Amino acid sequence: MKGFLYKELLQHKNTLIFCACMPFLITATLFVFIPINAGVNDAGFRDGLTELFDSRILPLVPVFAFFITGLMQSSLYQLDESKKWGFFAAAQPDGIRRSIYAKYVVCFLISIITLFSATIADMLLIMLDHLIRGTAMEEILSLSGVLPVMVFFQLFFRAVDYPFTVRFGTTRGAKVKIGIIAGAVLITCIYLLFGDLPEQLGDWFLAAAEFYQKVVEGKATDTVYLILGIFMWLAMGAYLLSYRISCKLYLKGVEQFEK
């Protein structure tokens, strides 16, 4: 197990480093445009900073980082898509399970690294807002409470994604997923246009809108926590199930590689 994991860590060390730096790179990119924007608008640097903080873009930086690192997770299998490596891994004692396990561990590690770096970036942005503009700490928008949930969203999406990647490869797997999603959307649209809709559909929409309003007003906190808790357990279960499915599909995926 350690050999495959070491190989994955060595192979993707730059990806791990990049994920750790991602929130800070996004923040630095935004701050680079401050003097440019200030020069164009004949405003001072401090005014440019104030405008940037007022735009509410900075609190979303950690969330953007999760989206970008999620794309990196999707490409973890790309370097190993060859028959030689696939059959070599399968020939090792318990090689298929160990190889897939290493991929899933690195994927999880990317999410954890992103969580820590995004949390630190969020804290730094809060401190900058407080020091530069003098905003009270309790008035500063922070999405740090959402970041742990983003980890489970990443794991859930990869749980759906990886079996397709293992079976069909990165490129073909993406096409298969897009085809399935497009087909599901098309069937849903056709049904909504021509099918018999349940009479309670309008009531469901009204109930959903009412629940959303309660969430915004902070009146459904317990329900939201319950839903998130259930989702987190489902995401972990889906991730483990995805690992087992990927192990079953491994050799079928290797056989379709050309080299």
d(CA 145, CA 165): 31
Q: Please tell me what DSSP assigns to residue 79.
A: G
CB contact set of 64 (below 8 Å; sequence gap of 6+): 26
pLDDT of the residue at 34: 64
Query: Rounded to an integer, what distance in angstroms lies between the CA atom of residue 165 and that of residue 176?
Result: 9
Instruction: Tell me the pLDDT of the chain averaged across its residues.
Output: 79
| Per-residue pLDDT, 258 | 63
> What pLDDT does 108 receive?
92
Summarize the confidence of residues 201-213 as an average pLDDT. Answer: 65
Q: Report the pLDDT value the prediction gives residue 96, as an integer from 0 to 100.
A: 84
For residue 208, which amino acid is it?
Answer: A
Give residue 57's pLDDT: 76
Name the range with the highest mean pLDDT among 159-168, 177-186, 213-222: 159-168
Q: Other CB atoms closer than 10 Å to residue 183's CB: what's the count?
A: 10
Q: From the CB of residue 57, how many other CB atoms can be counted at a distance below 10 Å?
A: 13
More confident residue, 141 or 231: 231
pLDDT tens, residue by residue, 83-140: 777 778 778 878 888 889 999 999 999 999 999 998 888 888 888 777 776 667 666 6
Average pLDDT over residues 15-40: 77
d(CA 151, CA 227): 16
Average pLDDT, integer, range 39-51: 60
User: What φ, ψ does residue 219 adopt, rounded to 5°?
Assistant: -100, 0
- Looking at per-residue pLDDT, the higher value among 249 and 39 belongs to 249
- Predicted local confidence at residue 235, as pLDDT: 92
Identify the three-state secondary structure at position 218: coil
Is pLDDT at 38 greater than 80 in this prediction? no
Residue 26 has pLDDT above 90, yes or no: no
* Three-state SS annotation for 81-140: CCHHHHHHHHHCCCHHHHHHHHHHHHHHHHHHHHHHHHHHHHHHHHHHHHHHHCCCHHHC
- Angle subtended at Cα 190 by Cα 186 and Cα 191, rounded to the nearest 5 degrees: 115
- Mean of pLDDT values over 170-187: 78
Kindly state the percentage of the chain with pLDDT values over 70: 75
pLDDT in tens, 210-254: 766 666 666 667 777 788 889 899 999 999 999 999 988 888 877
Q: Cα–Cα distance between 165 and 257 in angstroms, integer?
A: 12
